[in-house]
Amino acid sequence: MSSTAWLTVFVLAVFLGFEVISKVSSILHTPLMSGANAVHGVILVGAIIATGSTDDGVQLTIGLLAIVLATVNMVGGFAVTDRMLGMFAKPRRAPGAEKISGSSSGSSTREAGQ
C-alpha cells in the first residue's frame, strides 16, 4: 500500500472515531473508555506477527513479553467492560419487576425526577 493509501485509511478512521463516539450517552463514558481500551488490545495481533517472524533470542523475548501484555490488555479490557455493563442491565429489569409488585415506589421516584 502506498503512503497516501495509509494516510487515507488513517484520516477516515479519525473521522469515524469522532462520529461513532459523539453520540455516546454520558452515563456510558466509563464503559466506553474501558471498551476503547480493550479495542487497542488488538496490538496482540501485531505482537503475534512480529514474534512469529523472528529468530533472534532478544527479539523473541521482547515479542513474547509484548504478547503477554497485549493479552492482558485485550482479555482483561473486554471482561471488565462486560462486567460494568452487566451492572447496567439489572436496573432495567428492576422497573419491570416493580410494575408487577406495585408501581407506587416507581412513580414517586419519577415525580422527584421532574
Partner 1 sequence: MSGAWADTAYLIAGVCFILALKGLSAPRTARLGTLVGASGAALAVIVALTTPHLKHLGLIFGAIVVGVAIGLPTARQVRMTAMPQLVALFNGVGGGAAALVAAVEFLRPGTAISHAATADLAAIGFTILVGGVSFSGSLITFAKLQELMTTRPVVLPAGRWLTIGTASAGVLFGALLVPWPSTALLALLAVVSLVFGVLFVLPVGGADVPIVISLLNAFTGLTVAASGYVLGNTLLVIAGTLVGASGTLLTRMMAAAMGRPLTGTLFGAFTATAGGAIGDGGGAAKPVRTSSPEDVAILLGYARKVVFVPGYGLAVAQAQHTVREVADLLTARGVLVAYGIHPVAGRMPGHMNVLLAEANVPYESLLELDAANSELASADVAVVIGANDVVNPAARQPTGSPISGMPILDVDLARQVVFCKRSMRPGFAGVENELLYATNTSLLFGDAKESMAKVLAALKAQ
Contact positions with partner 1 (CB under 8 A) in 55-114: 55-56, 58-60, 62-92, 94-95, 98, 104-106, 108-113
- Of the pair 64, 100, the CB lying nearest partner 1 is at 64
At its nearest, how many Å lie between partner 1 and the CB of residue 97? 9
**Nearest distance in Å: CB 100, partner 1:** 15
Contact criterion met (CB below 8 Å) for 32 and 21: yes
Q: How far is the CB of 29 from partner 1 (least distance, A)?
A: 4
Q: Which is nearer to partner 1, 15 or 100 (CB)?
A: 15
CA distances from 69 to 38, 62, 63, 106 (A): 12, 11, 10, 46
Number of residues counted as binding partner 1 (CB under 8 A): 94
Q: Which of residues 22-41 bind partner 1 (CB under 8 A)?
A: 22-41
Give the span between the Cα atoms of 74 and 92, in whole angstroms: 28
Measure the N-to-C terminal CA separation of the chain; round to a whole number of Å: 57
Buried b (16+ CB within 10 A) or exposed e, 90-106: eeeeeeeeeeeeeeeee
* Least Cβ distance, residue 87 to partner 1 (angstroms): 4
